Each structure stands twice: as structure tokens, then as C-alpha cells.
Chains A and B, each alone.
Chain A
Amino acid sequence: MSDAEVVSESDPFAGTSDLDRKRTIGRIFVGLCAASALVGIVALVVLIADVLYQSWGWVTWEFLTYPPSQFAESYLPGGRGAGIYPALVGSIFLIALTALFTIVLGVGAAVYLEEYASEGRLTAFIEANIANLAGVPSIVYGLLGLAIFVRAMQLGSSLLAGALTLTLLILPIVIVASQEAIRAVPDSQRHAAYGVGATDWEVIRDVVLPSALPGIMTGTILSLSRAIGETAPLIMVGAATSMFVPPDSPLGPFAAMPMQIFDWATMPDATFQHVAAAGIVVLLTVLLAMNATAVYIRHRFETEL
């Protein structure tokens, strides 16, 4: 019935003939976007497939628990046993120390800038520079670490010097991520706490930090997983490329996985390519585990309450 009416009146959809053309443009656009997404995914898949293929059979329990060796045969399954153990432990200690420093300094700085510092030229200047620092190449931080921690503070090429250098490297990103998380806490929540007589500190402790924590943690973990793969700053600081024992103290020398992998990759014996690939698999596993933790934390806190 209504159909009949529509037909009898003038066409209500007159003047929409351009829609077909627009829809075609829309489809082309979607296609381009999908293709772009595909490039990234395909590259990643190929990379991982290649590494897995190269390392197939080389990632063994011995590989995880033995120090490296100059002889490729030692790494072979059933060989004398050689692997990544000191660098794996070194990387984990390095990241743990870095995490400690970054969380304390990064959250502290972000809380100060967001909750205490009054909005003036100085804070605006500081914030702009923090954002700029996030873009400085990591080798520059390596130089800085060498000058300050290794030389001036006489920490030598130690685990502590490495951790402090990596802290400098990721601190700007952690500060910015934490600031954003803190800024996202609604003012109404702060007012609620102030309204019942909370002090600044209580508001931060009870309202701001709990709400901002998931954001702070994801930002921190993601930058830490970036730091664990960094090589350039560690080279500058003078970390060992290859060590036979894990670091025994924060002031002792250390090797880290990226440098150990680099060491293997530059070995003349082609068999070491498999060893390097096995090292990459271990590094990527640690990295993915960290990212998974970040995702888990975000998910966990978002669904809670």
C-alpha cells in the first residue's frame, strides 16, 4: 500500500544517483587500508616464520641453561651443551632494575607534573621537552650513559650503569604515558575525595593512582619490552657481548640477549645463524610475555568493578 503511494508521488530518492560513484570510492579506500594492514602483518609473519624455521630444533633446555661456546657443535642437540643462559639472566636483571627505576621516576614525575605543578611556562617547557626526548635516538642515550654513569659516577660497564641508561631512554615515554593515564582520571572523582576531607596525598593515593594504574602499567611494560631489545645504548655503555656467567651483582659486568645474538650473528661459521635465530626466539618470547602481561593488566583492571 505504502509502496503504491510512494510511486504515485514524486520519487523521494531523486538526486541520489551520485551514491554509486561515492560507494565505489569508499570500496577502493577500504581496499587500500586493508592492503596497508596486510603489508605489516605479512612482514611480521614472514619474519617470525623465517626465525622459527632457522631455529627449529635449536631452542632446547640446554640452550636456556648453558653459557655460550665458541664451537657451533656444542649448541647442537646432543652436543656438550651451550646456550644463552648468562645473557638471558643478564637481560632479566637489567629489565627488572630498569623497571624499578622507571616506575619510581616516571610515576613520580607524572604525578608531580599533573597534580602538583601549576600550569606555567616552566611546566609547559618541561612537558614539551619530555615529549621531544622520547624521539631522541637510543645511541645518544648510550653516549649520555657512558659519560654520566660509566665515567662520572664510576659505575663502570656494570649492570647498574646499563639499567640507568635504559631508564633514561624510556623515561620520557613512561612519563608521557603516565601523564595521560592520570589526566584521564575524571575530576569528579578527585572532587568526591576532596569533598569528604581528603588531603592532596590521599586523593592521589586513593583515587588518582588506582584509576591511572592500568594505563601506567601498560605504558611502562610496553616501553620496557622496547628496552629489552635495545642494543645500541648497551654497546656504548660497554656491556659484554658474550659472558660465561650471569651477573653476580648490580656493579658487576653483564651480557644481554641482543648483544649475545649480535655476537652469534657475526660469527664466521654459518651454523651460528641457527644459534642466533634460537636466541631471537628466546628474546621474542620474553618480549611477547611482557606484552601479554600488559594486555592482561589492562583487561583485568578494566573489567574489575
Chain B
Amino acid sequence: MANGGTASGGATGSGTTGTTGTTGTTGTTGTTGTTGATGATARVEIGSRSAGRVVGSWRAAWLRVEAHWTWYRRYWRSSLYSSGLQPVLFLAAMGLGFGSQVEAGPATGGLAYVHYVAPALLVAGAVQNAIGESSYPVLSGFKWQQDYYAVTATPVTAGQLLGGQIIWIVLRVGIACVVYTLVALLFGAWLNAGALLVVPIGVFAAVACGVPIMAVAATTYNEGERFAAIFRFLVMPMILFSGTFFPIEQIPAAVRWLAWISPVWHGTELARGVTLGGLGGWPALGHLAFLGVLAGFSAALARRYFYRRLVV
């Protein structure tokens, strides 16, 4: 045995094979040398016939995605409107309908309004989709279905559960963005292949907006009006006044900073940049950094709150 003085109790394991992945655990049949067991606390693991084993962190998160997918296969129709149809309707109404009355001018970079608004609507739709998926569905895992507690009673940890939730939102929003992009193509809304980059940008902005809402959900015990208030007083204004439909230069200077701290604006600037051009390298990096910091910071916060709620 590698671990000085530790009795080789692990030797009795038979059914369990070694584990893979990043959690750093070895299988029951392995030696106990490298993991958390220190010389001070001799671990004498009792022999096993169980079929269960620890899976690696990425795998665990992916198993959560599998679970979401199982659910989605049954219920995708119910979210078709909010995540799929709504942005397309907006594009038709604002881009084609309303846009036909808008003259190309300096504000639209000399372009038809549909070209101006299409990338921004993708970002706005993705953000709304992600926020929706991060609010009540996450709260339900804690509060109504309580299935999060079932998951964390298995080898899967609260952090892996959160990771799976984020990956799931990436995929789900990604699918919706691809569908939107294709429909917008039929509308002639794209000018060039830069449109391909709008999808990852939309997803990135969506994650940066969704993960903070997950953190909020993990600290919400009494749903009350919290999410409704967030939708009304945070999300809607953010979508309306972040340069989605008109440039933020039209906003009075005194309150324009509100748009600057809006992740939707950063996403919209990036999305327009890759399709319409006119965005310098440094500003682009700045927008990416803003979204990255927001996503990273809120993921760390969400992780802490997930543990606080699930491991009590």
C-alpha cells in the first residue's frame, strides 16, 4: 500500500472498477494512496458489491444534460413559442414590417433596418430564453420537484449539478439560436457569413445573463414576486434600452451608463460587429471581457449558493 500504515481494507472490493475523470478518486479496488485519505485518518474502506461508482466531473455534468434532454424530448413543444417562435415573430414585425418604414441612415450604419435589428434580436431572444430557463425551472429543482436533492444523494455533487445546468442552457439556447439564424436567412436578414459568429455570441451573452439568475434562484425560498419583478424591471428594460432597436446614443447621457452595464448591450455590440462590421478589436475584447467576467463571477457565486442550499 502506498499510504503508510493504512490497512489494505480496500482489497475486499470486488464489484467496483476504477473510476475515471477529474474527481481524483480511484476505484474501490485501487489503492487508497492518492486521494483525500491522509496518513492521519486511516481509511479502511469496507468491501463492496455495489454497482455504483464515482464518475468524473465532466461526465457527471453531462449526465445531468442527458436528464434534461430526456425531459426536453417530451416537452419541447411547450417551450417552442417562447424560445423559438417569439424571436422570429419579432424579426418579422420589427425587421420587415416596422423596418420597412425606417430609412437607412447614420443610426443604422446606412443599412436596412432588418440587417440592423436581426443580430440584436438573436441576442435578446437568447438572453430571455436563458433567463427563463434559469429562474423557475431551477427554483423547482430546489423547492417543488426537489429533484436536485435526489441528484446530490448520488455521487454527483452540487457543483456538477450546476455545471450540467449551465451546459444544458448552452445547448438549448444554441439550438434556438441556430433555428433563428436559419429563419432569418430566409428573410434575407444576414449580409455575410459573419452571421455564423452571431450564434456563439448570443449563447455567450445568454450564459452571462442566465447564470446570475441561477444564483438568485438558489437563494430564493419564497418565490413571491422576485422573478416577476426581475422580468419586469430588469429584463424587459434591459432588452428595450440596450441598443436592440435603436442606438444607445439616443438615450440621454445621464442614464446611458445603464446601457453600458447591461450585458445585453455588450452582446448586441459584438453581434452587430461580426455581421455589420465597424467594431474595433479593443472594444470587442472589452465586450467579451465584460461578459466573461460576469459569467465567471456569477458561476462562482451560484456554485456557492448551490452548495449552501443542497448540502445542509
Q: Do A and B bind each other?
A: no
Interface set of A (CB-CB < 8 Å, partner B): none
Interface set of B (CB-CB < 8 Å, partner A): none
